[in-house]
Chain A
Amino acid sequence: MSAVIQCRDLRKTYDGKVEAVRGLNLEIRAGECFGLLGPNGAGKTTTIEILEGLLEPTSGEVSILGQTWKSHPRQLREKIGISLQETRLSEKLTVRETVELFASFYREPRPASEVLGDLQLEEKADSWVGKLSGGQRQRLAVATALVGSPRVLFLDEPTTGLDPQSRRQLWDIIRAFQKTGGTVLLTTHYMDEAERLCDRLAIVDHGQIIAEGTPAELIARLGGHHVVEFSLAGDSHGKAETWQTLPGVDSVRNDDGLVSLSVREPHRTIPALLDVVDKQSAQLEHLTTRQASLEDVFVRLTGRHLRED
């Protein structure tokens, strides 16, 4: 299948000093929802803005739908929809006026009323933008992106700062767009969002892709699919080697006294773990076991948590 968004060896250096993007390659296929996952400052926004033709890369090539920003700027603008990380739309215009204004820029837009309906903004159509809640504003931002009837949708952190219900609403909107055959590229620093929404992901850190694949593939790459986390009473958390030698343990990580084991077969590891704790006559303070997540993948790859807050 042909690539809808493609970039090769993308680099961006600000003021000749700060390297925001350092040799990034991407190939996003038609109909896919592709996520750039990474912590703040990883270069996600710079990357997506270069792909959107809003920033000039220092070097590297970008092509969208087989065309480049240099050769077909206007044609490309007609075919893509964009939601920037934070745009404060005019507060004194109504929702409908805002969507109609954006529609007027496109040669063949969708009717504003239809888009408002899809985004459940009909009730708010005649309210001023200044009176909307965070979730409604974000839906309006997506409405301005969808009204041009785009083939590719770029969303920069579409759900940051939204409540769980608004986030789920936006996910539904994105999925609906995908069902019409649209391609989506989004950035996020939410693990669950990336895991549930994206067909494929690239984990970005320090301006580079450090892993790429479907969420399941990335998790499988951890080795173990399960995580056993425990902590012992007092300061004693044993030596990493002790835990490493337990049956089925793939890797060990100590996070401020919380030991987390990446394991393939928890039913073999946990009895052995309990044995060791018993022999050391230590006290188990906390024990959980769960499915491995993208967070674990990120921590494994970078040694840091995705959101350090």
Chain B
Amino acid sequence: MTVAPQNPRVESAQASTLRNGRWSGFLHLISARMKELRREPEVVFWMFVFPLLLSFGLGIAFRNRPADATSIAIASGPYAENALALIQKSAQKTSIRAEIVDQARAAQGLRLGKYDLVVEAVSPDRVQYDYDPARPESVLSRTEVNDALQISAGRKNAVETTAVASSDPGSRYIDFLIPGLLGMNLMNSGMWGMGFALVDMRQRKLLKRFVATPMRRGDFLLALLGSRLLLMVAEVGLLLGFGVVVFHMRVLGSLWSILLIGAIGAITFGGLGLLTASRAQKIETASGLMNLVMMPLWIFTGVFFSYERFPAILQPFIKALPLTPLNDALRATILEGASLASQSGRILILVLWGGISFALALRWFRWT
């Protein structure tokens, strides 16, 4: 059966075709990706709101209290009141919160961390301290309370001392925390933004549909990475701005250096995300893989606390992980104003991780 080859619609269709330039696909892909992200409330939450909440919460929880008061229990007994009176007339009274409770509740409070120390006044001139040597605040509390009791009871100091407190912006926990959260956030959104998005599109057969068009595959991946970089600028700006406004954080390094390090971090973790997503067919598989990769990084690389606390034998391994150099470089730049040149070693580790991940990912990547 033949169909009339000449038809007016052929001409009208041809008359109204457009002409696309080399980068039209790339630009449309970036803009589509940004629109999709903006319309996805979960993405906005995890990428922008969550880190702010986290830094706010932790910043409040670990804020530097004017005087770090220790909370102690005095076990009730005939001499308890006496011990309490001694503490309350001491010079340290503002930094010791003491209350009299019965023996059982005191012991339970110590176990649960409500009290740092339990004082038992056995006789007017004899007390016993129950403390937990594994808890620094408990050890500290024992010294503090002991000093208070001894001095109130008449001990004389042999040496006159004065102490100057230093808690400038730059040395507080929040100052340590925000660059770490920034690094962690770049990792999270790099891994999820590339990895999750790709597996999701593969599962929905959208990747297959795309490669069934003349779309350039390289453009597609570049667009995904490009949208990551745009978001990176927003993430870094928001979290740093939050630190500056809410916690009066001081940013010593130049914004350009911070953004450059952020970009390298975003690309490195984009590469790792691409690698974990290169073959997975299902979201579940990919999530498992990504959590497996990210879990050790959260713990070991100094996001929430310094990795110097881990045994020396682990240090070379920790420093080779991709998030460690990113956190270190962000901290050095933001808090100390370190130059980019002085961080070349860290940047090299990042570039190596990113480069190797991309090379392997592109070799293994499956579109269908």
Contact = CB atoms under 8 A, between A and B. Distances in A.
B209 A84 contact: yes
Given A87-B209, A108-B17, A181-B5, A101 B32 contact: yes
Nearest to B27: A104
Contact of A107 (B13, B14, B19, B39): B19
Interface in B13-41: 13-14, 16-20, 24-25, 27-29, 32, 35-36, 39-40
B159 interface: no
Given A88-B205, A100-B28, A106 B213 contact: yes
Nearest to A75: B214
A110 B28 CA distance: 16
A52 interface: yes
Interface in A155-202: 176, 178-181, 199-200
Given A78-B214, A105-B25, A92 B40 contact: yes
B20 A181 contact: no
A26 interface: no
A87 B36 contact: no
B112 interface: no
Contacts of A108: 17-20
Contact of A181 (B7, B19, B210): B7
Interface string A199-219: 110000000000000100000
A181 B35 contact: no
Contacts of A105: 20, 24-25, 28, 210, 213-215
A86 interface: yes
A32 B16 contact: no
A93 B29 CA distance: 12
Contacts of B214: 74, 77-78, 105-107, 148
B208 interface: yes
Interface in A127-151: 128, 144, 148-149
A18 interface: no
Contact of A101 (B28, B40, B204, B368): B28
Contact of A77 (B20, B212, B368): B212
B140 interface: no
Interface string A68-90: 00000010011000101011111
B206 interface: yes
Given A52-B212, A108-B19, A180-B7, A92 B39 contact: yes
A179 B3 CA distance: 7
B16 A111 contact: yes
A53 B3 CA distance: 27
Contacts of A106: 20, 213-214
A180 B10 contact: yes
A78 to B, nearest CB: 5
A109 B214 CA distance: 11
A31 interface: yes
A1 B2 contact: yes
Nearest to B367: A54
A102 interface: yes
Nearest to B4: A179
A82 B208 CA distance: 11
Nearest to B215: A105
Nearest to B216: A105
B156 interface: no
B155 interface: no
A104 B17 contact: no
A7 interface: no
A101 B211 contact: no
Contacts of A107: 19-20, 214
Contacts of B205: 84, 86-88
A120 B199 CA distance: 32
A31 B5 contact: yes
A97 interface: yes
Given A54-B212, A84-B209, A92-B35, 19 more contacts: A31-B5, A53-B212, A77-B212, A87-B209, A88-B204, A88-B206, A92-B40, A102-B213, A104-B27, A105-B215, A107-B19, A109-B18, A110-B13, A148-B213, A176-B9, A179-B9, A180-B10, A181-B5, A181-B10
13 contacts: A52-B212, A54-B368, A84-B205, A86-B205, A92-B35, A103-B20, A106-B213, A111-B16, A111-B17, A114-B16, A144-B209, A179-B3, A180-B13
A-B pairs, top 3 by smallest CB distance, nearest first, are A104-B28, A88-B204, A77-B214
